[in-house]
Amino acid sequence: MDFKNIEAKIKKWVLQLQTLPEGHKKAILWTIVVLIALPMLFFWLQGTLKRMESVESIDLGLPEFENVNQSPATEGPQNQTNGLQELQNQVNNNSQINNQE
């Protein structure tokens, strides 16, 4: 392999690039940037997804909590009314007990 021949070809190619208009130079630059960035983005996303999967499988030993706000929509207003009636009955019972004493 003749490195002087390769060196001459590279110098010739660089001289051709230098003679191009500014717009063509920018287009070549951005094409190279995109071609390098796409594989980097691909591998970065793969690594991130693998890390997120490993984070989901870590057991931190935290207690599990029930979701208290899970009540059927059909029982909402009726359930609240029953609760208010029960509370009012308790207050009435307490006031009757206090009056008897």
Q: Could you tell me if residue 90 is inside a domain?
A: no
Q: Could you tell me if residue 18 is inside a domain?
A: yes
pLDDT tens per residue across all 101 residues of the chain: 677 789 899 999 999 999 999 999 999 999 999 999 999 999 999 999 988 887 766 666 777 777 777 655 555 555 556 777 787 788 777 776 666 65
Q: Could you tell me if residue 68 is inside a domain?
A: no
Please state, in angstroms and rounded to a whole number, the distance separating the CA atoms of residues 65 and 42: 37
Domain membership of residue 43 as a residue range: 1-57
Structurally, how many domains does the chain consist of?
1
Q: Could you tell me if residue 1 is inside a domain?
A: yes
Please state, in angstroms and rounded to a whole number, the distance separating the CA atoms of residues 85 and 77: 12
Q: Could you tell me if residue 94 is inside a domain?
A: no
Please state, in angstroms and rounded to a whole number, the distance separating the CA atoms of residues 85 and 79: 10
Q: Could you tell me if residue 69 is inside a domain?
A: no
Quickly count: other Cβ atoms within 10 Å of residue 79's Cβ.
Answer: 12
Q: Could you tell me if residue 52 is inside a domain?
A: yes
Question: Are the C-beta atoms of residues 17 and 31 closer than 8 Å to each other?
Answer: no
pTM of this prediction?
A: 0.46
